[in-house]
Amino acid sequence: MKNSVLDDSVEICVEQLRKQSVIAYPTEAVFGLGCDPDSETAVLQLLALKQRPVEKGLILIASDYQQLEPYISDRELSVAQRERMFASWPGPVTWVVPATSQTPRWLTGRFDSLAVRVSNHPDVQQLCRAFGKPVVSTSANLSGLEPCRSSEEVRQQFGADFPVLEGKTGGRLNPSEIRDVISGEQIRKG
């Protein structure tokens, strides 16, 4: 069954992404803020909203691994590392992987790596498929406030006209686990 509210919302959000705007969308645990990862203007706007320094780097969220390939150096991964990563996807595990030399610094920050995730959230899947590539993903909250868990909370923090993909979070309590694909070490507990 088609959900016309969600379909309309996806269409509006994709249009905003193409206009280099920042949007909010539900993820596995909280709402995320996202934008076109290839637009320096959009990423800097997102970082300003979050009051987040560019040096920290960002996460890309995608509907499938192929969407992430232009940004990561897949050839640097061993079969075992790739298998470990694929075993957790799609799902709420973010992996820090080697970035290509072409991946913009506004995504990697001070690192030569990039945090990436193939989400199992159906709304994220639909958004990334409709946009045709991954989107930046960071929690939707202003500095010092709790991450938003509903579209109403997004509008309270960011304003009534902020573009939001209508939907519900996946119900997880904690944001995604973050692991290093090379060492296997856990960076953030999920």
Q: pLDDT tens digits, residue range 88-138? A: 999 999 999 999 999 999 999 999 999 999 999 999 999 999 999 999 999
The answer on pLDDT for 1 being more than 60 is: no
CATH number of 115's domain: 3.90.870.10
Give me the mean pLDDT over the 52-69 stretch. 96
pLDDT confidence tier of residue 6, bands split at 50, 70 and 90: low
- Residues sharing a CB contact under 8 Å with residue 24, sequence separation 6 or more, in sequence order: 31, 32, 33, 34, 140, 148, 151, 154, 158, 162, 163, 164, 165
8-60 residue pLDDT tens: 889 999 999 999 999 999 999 999 999 999 999 999 999 999 999 999 999 99
- Residues sharing a CB contact under 8 Å with residue 179, sequence separation 6 or more, in sequence order: 93, 94, 95, 96, 185, 186, 187
Kindly report whether the global pTM for this prediction surpasses the value 0.85.
yes
Peptide bond into 104 cis (omega under 30): no
179 contacts 94 by C-beta, under 8 angstroms:
yes
Give me the mean pLDDT over the 146-160 stretch. 95
Structural domain total, the chain: 1
Give me the mean pLDDT over the 78-91 stretch. 96
Residue 3 has a pLDDT of 53
Expressed as residue numbers, the domain containing 112 is 4-188
pLDDT confidence tier of residue 171, bands split at 50, 70 and 90: confident
What single DSSP character describes residue 99? B
